[in-house]
Chains A and B, each alone.
Chain A
Amino acid sequence: MPRYRSFRDLDWPLLIISLIISALGVMQIYSATHGTKWHTAWWKQIIWILIGLALMWITTSVDYHTLLGQVPILYSLSVLGLIATVAIGRVAFSGRRWISVLGFSFQISEFVKVVIILMVARYLSELKSDEVSLRDLWKLGGLVAIPVILVYYQPDLGTAITCLSVLAAGILLAGLRWQYVAGIALVCALALPVGWYLIKDYQRARFLTFRDPSLDPRGAGYQVIQSKIAIGHGGIWGAGLTKGTQTQLRFLPAAHNDLIFSGFAEEHGFVGVVVALGLYFLLLMQIVQNAQTAPDRAGMYICMGVAALLLCHLLVNVGMVAGEMPLTGIPLPLMSAGGSITMSVFVMLGLVNNVRLRRFAS
């Protein structure tokens, strides 16, 4: 019997936490861009958030099983979209990541992430076994690899990595024989250092830069150095909103996009960083809780896919800002300015709510 669903049943803590983080983002975008040619970015971001909320509500209202039924179509559309992006996409930052629709530039790869979450969930929930066979591993890996390789060649290494995290989380949850895990780990462990130690220090940096030129338009390392100086300059309490010299004097490149957290850290200090990361942690745990209460495997995989993707995003972006991870140009979900990423994150939160609303379904 279908149950009545209403606003009351939404995951309100999840929604409130995400809106608080979004508000911090808008504030930081304003601070990083006022007086520059991007000074309109903050109110544009508010509009994107409102559109994101509408998309979230729409995503919530369609039963996720219906969505899973549409995966073949969605998947085909994403692959075609990615090919179109590579073929005709607007060249921005010397990478072809954007495609223009009705005068807006969209980053197809952001929506591909959602499709990959749904596809992995559907594939794994149809396995009907508590273990992934080698055959299924190959098949699912291949299905994920096609869009990921297209994204990688845009080139957008960061987004490609986050998509792989969904796959990794999915198969590890679905159950993989420890021999396979060990095998994959061994192959990776052998392949990486062989290539990695053959090349020189600066070549390693250049390799990453080369794969994704948008990372580093003014010389490798410049962004990381400036980002670390900005963060350090913030100290415990921070320089105060719009008072960060590194951010305000434009030492910090892309201070409202990929490096927004660096500016945030300069202006709000270690305390601000702990608060913001704490909010992200709560958000993540709220999503995980929805996975635990999901009515079926498909719902669980969807929630965990979203959680894994967000965790990977945080690790790569915040880790990059703090110099703990190599430079890969991906935005910080909910904080970085940008329509595509904001809409796609809210669609993902809509999927989580979707699963939650149907947790008592029979």
Chain B
Amino acid sequence: MPPVEPERRQSQEMTPSRLFKDDTRFALGRIAVFQYLSVAVFLILIGGFWVLQIRDREFNSELADRNRIKTVPLLAPRGKILDRDGRIIVDNHSAFEFRISRETLKPEHIAAIANGLNMTPEEIRTPLARAESRHIPKYFPVLIKQELTPSELAFVESHNDRDTFPEMELVSSQSRLYPQSGLAAHVIGYVGEVSDQELNTTEFAKYSQGDKVGKEGLERQYNDLLMGIDGQRQVEVDSLGRERTKMKSQEATPGQNLQLTLDLDLQAVAELSMEGRRGAVVALDPRTGEVLAMVSRPAFDPNLFTRRISKSDWKELTDNPDNPLMNRAIQAQFAPGSTFKPIVSIAGLETGMLDPANTVYCPGSATFYGHTFKCDEVHGTVDLHHAIVHSCDVYFFTVGNRMGIERIAEYAQLAGIGKKTGIDLPNEKEGLMPSPKWKLRAQREKWYAGETISVAIGQGAVMVTPIQLASVLGGLVSGGIWYKPHLVKNARIDPPRHADFHPENVATVVSGMCGVVNEGGTGASAAIPGLEICGKTGTAQRISNELAKSNKALALAMRDNGWFVGFAPRENPEIVVVALWEGGGKGAFSAPIVRDVIKAYFDKKARQARPGPTQLSLFAEPSSH
């Protein structure tokens, strides 16, 4: 377009020094240069299209039609999980997974592929349809089956060529290898392919279909750390499936290893002592909140989940009335029974409502508000110390009645009952500390004074989880200092909660708990000569006495839960262990479980203090040590 002669106009602007014209004439030449520059730019651009669309047309069309860029995922291995001494708990092993590229998929092949991989055609179509609906690019192969068996691998390798089955992709991967027989299964959790429902939640939204993510336990809690970042390799393949040029590769970043506070030696002892039982064991270091062992039984085999779990296996796990998938250590909520008595005691001592020297006469039962409450036996005249040692209910009925529910609830909540401990595991339960306020809110009823009597011995509506009980009592006997329980070593330790209990009051309660084990009390079976183990039994009813009498079958199925909480040494305890044996019948039966774990702890400590060539340990120390 020819430059148009502009309208000129005289500038009104005059400066004293020189005349200045505000016209555009001066720039006309430069504007013309711009026009020539524009022509050049357009010619270059069109030239580029000429090269691509006319000169190299054949080449590009061929690329578009046949020669595809193949994207091969490079899967990042997950980080290992180690115990506190660096021994491997969860490892990886090499495996192959089978993927299908939708770009080259011939639908008539699906049946044949399904046959070779022992799958139904539906099991192949479903993930393909999911990838389609999630707008995953066609060039990115879709995960069909993980951990191929040798025969499946042979099938894929013998058919995987560009001409017959162009859609097949074999990708080497690292698969999870969990301990056998469910050791620490609940703590560790398991990984699995992220599901559609999960992808729609905020926690999992950042992952994409086919990603293997932690579904439970630590695998889920620390998934981002463990998972690593997958890489990918792009190759241009020719019509024979040969990789012609390697275009680009992005290496996978392996996940980080996770070192736990768990001690495999203690864990193994705790696991063995719970074998064949239903319940949980938790061992904590009350000085830091480190979890040394955590067991929940019955357990499951996490290895079932590493490939897609079969329907029958899944059904077996979910239909099992014992609910093996539940982590009882943090999710089982039961009445604490007499293990609640140390809390009532400290509440009474701190509020001044309880004089340890005062005695109560126990005739084997007591009547409050027109209702008779039974004791285990006739204790006679007891003071606080003997009431704890022999677990006298009548004493605590009397004390609880005098104190009232508000004071008990205040101190129980202060110690942490009714609140999650905040342990680094998903889906912890919070337990319950009943109070008049809670009852009004939850049941719209007023509190009856008779309920206080039950709560005073850890019955009624009060509920705890094993981890909570370990944390609450461990902190209490350490003088009223509660560290948040945690499972990862070298994690930043949150500042603890404090309660300013009088040391002499704590000492009084601890002395009672010492008597439980060492003065022929209810927990005498936890005693080990040379070790000052202290503890408290708890036998918690799950149904009322009346119901138990009228329905013997139910009474058998709902046998009392046996709790035992033990710690050692008496001063500045290093370990606190809680054992819950569901239907164990008596708290005293749980005491040996706790004893064995505490013994294992101190045996190991002695072993490490005395360096010798033979280290007796269930698990080999890593050679680097």
Interaction A to B: yes
Give every chain B residue within 8 A of A129 (Cβ-Cβ). Answer: 20
Cβ-based interface call for A163 (8 A) = no
Cβ-based interface call for A250 (8 A) = yes
Give every chain A residue within 8 A of B3 (Cβ-Cβ). Answer: 289, 292
Q: Is there an interface contact between B7 and A359, defined as CB atoms closer than 8 Å?
A: yes
Q: In residues 49-95 of chain B, which contact A (Cβ within 8 Å)?
A: 49-50, 52-54, 56-57, 59-61, 63-65, 69
Cβ-based interface call for B543 (8 A) = no
Cβ-based interface call for A222 (8 A) = yes
Q: Least Cβ distance of A257 to chain B in Å?
A: 15
- 1/0 per residue, CB under 8 A from B, across A306-319: the answer is 01100100110011
Give every chain A residue within 8 A of B369 (Cβ-Cβ). Answer: none
Q: Chain B: which residue is nearest A359 at the CB level?
A: B7
Give every chain B residue within 8 A of A362 (Cβ-Cβ). Answer: 9
Q: Report the stretch among B39-47, B284-292, B434-442 that lies at the interface.
A: B39-47
Give every chain B residue within 8 A of A274 (Cβ-Cβ). Answer: 46, 49
Q: Is there an interface contact between A273 and B137, defined as CB atoms closer than 8 Å?
A: no
Q: Is there an interface contact between B61 and A233, defined as CB atoms closer than 8 Å?
A: yes
Q: Least Cβ distance of A265 to chain B in Å?
A: 6
Q: Is there an interface contact between B45 and A318, defined as CB atoms closer than 8 Å?
A: yes
Q: Is there an interface contact between B22 and A246, defined as CB atoms closer than 8 Å?
A: no
Cβ-based interface call for A324 (8 A) = yes
Q: Is there an interface contact between A231 and B49, defined as CB atoms closer than 8 Å?
A: yes
Q: Is there an interface contact between B52 and A322, defined as CB atoms closer than 8 Å?
A: yes
Which residue of B9, B15, B138 has the most chain A CB atoms within 10 A of its CB atom? B9
Q: In residues 247-305 of chain B, which contact A (Cβ within 8 Å)?
A: 247-248, 250
Q: Chain B: which residue is nearest A237 at the CB level?
A: B53
Cβ-based interface call for A254 (8 A) = no
Q: Is there an interface contact between B247 and A228, defined as CB atoms closer than 8 Å?
A: no
CA distance A322 to B69 in the complex (A): 18
Q: Is there an interface contact between A232 and B60, defined as CB atoms closer than 8 Å?
A: yes
Q: Report the stretch among A96-104, A146-154, A167-175, A189-197 that lies at the interface.
A: A167-175
Give every chain B residue within 8 A of A245 (Cβ-Cβ). Answer: 64-65
CA distance A343 to B280 in the complex (A): 65
Q: Is there an interface contact between B48 and A314, defined as CB atoms closer than 8 Å?
A: no
Q: Chain A: which residue is nearest B11 at the CB level?
A: A296
Cβ-based interface call for A304 (8 A) = yes
Cβ-based interface call for A81 (8 A) = no
Q: Chain B: which residue is nearest A249 at the CB level?
A: B138
Give every chain A residue within 8 A of B23 (Cβ-Cβ). Answer: 296-297
Q: Least Cβ distance of B458 to chain A in Å?
A: 51
Count of CB-CB pairs between chains A and B under 8 Å: 168
Q: Is there an interface contact between B35 and A173, defined as CB atoms closer than 8 Å?
A: no
Q: Least Cβ distance of A167 to chain B in Å?
A: 14
- 1/0 per residue, CB under 8 A from B, across A168-192: the answer is 0100111100000000000000000
Q: Is there an interface contact between B60 and A225, defined as CB atoms closer than 8 Å?
A: no
Q: Is there an interface contact between A225 and B247, defined as CB atoms closer than 8 Å?
A: yes
Cβ-based interface call for B311 (8 A) = no
Q: Least Cβ distance of A230 to chain B in Å?
A: 7
| Contact (A233, B60) CB under 8 Å given A249-B138, A292-B6 | yes
Q: Of B38, B64, B234, which one neighbours A285 at CB under 8 angstroms?
A: B38
Which residue of A219, A234, A323 has the most chain B CB atoms within 10 A of its CB atom? A219
Cβ-based interface call for A295 (8 A) = yes
Q: Is there an interface contact between A292 and B64, defined as CB atoms closer than 8 Å?
A: no
Cβ-based interface call for A221 (8 A) = yes
Give every chain A residue within 8 A of B22 (Cβ-Cβ). Answer: 125, 296-297
Q: Of B1, B9, B65, which one neighbours A296 at CB under 8 angstroms?
A: B9
Q: In residues 217-248 of chain A, which contact B (Cβ within 8 Å)?
A: 218-222, 225-226, 228-236, 245-246
Cβ-based interface call for A119 (8 A) = no
Q: Least Cβ distance of B11 to chain A in Å?
A: 8
Cβ-based interface call for B27 (8 A) = yes
Q: Is there an interface contact between A304 and B34, defined as CB atoms closer than 8 Å?
A: yes
Q: Is there an interface contact between B46 and A232, defined as CB atoms closer than 8 Å?
A: no
| Contact (A229, B248) CB under 8 Å given A294-B6, A315-B45, A319-B48 | no
Q: Is there an interface contact between A219 and B248, defined as CB atoms closer than 8 Å?
A: yes
Cβ-based interface call for A348 (8 A) = no
CA distance A294 to B31 in the complex (A): 12
Q: In residues 130-144 of chain B, which contact A (Cβ within 8 Å)?
A: 135, 137-139
CA distance A15 to B141 in the complex (A): 47
CA distance A193 to B137 in the complex (A): 37
Q: Is there an interface contact between A175 and B53, defined as CB atoms closer than 8 Å?
A: no
Cβ-based interface call for B367 (8 A) = no
Q: Chain B: which residue is nearest A230 at the CB level?
A: B64
| Contact (A169, B46) CB under 8 Å given A245-B64, A296-B22 | no
Residues of A within 8 A of B (CB): 36-37, 125, 128-130, 169, 172-175, 202, 218-222, 225-226, 228-236, 245-246, 249-251, 253, 265, 269-270, 273-274, 277, 280-281, 284-286, 288-289, 291-297, 299-300, 304, 307-308, 311, 314-315, 318-319, 322-324, 359-360, 362
Interface CB pairs A-B, < 8 A, 10: A219-B248, A222-B234, A229-B60, A231-B52, A235-B57, A265-B53, A277-B42, A293-B4, A295-B9, A314-B45
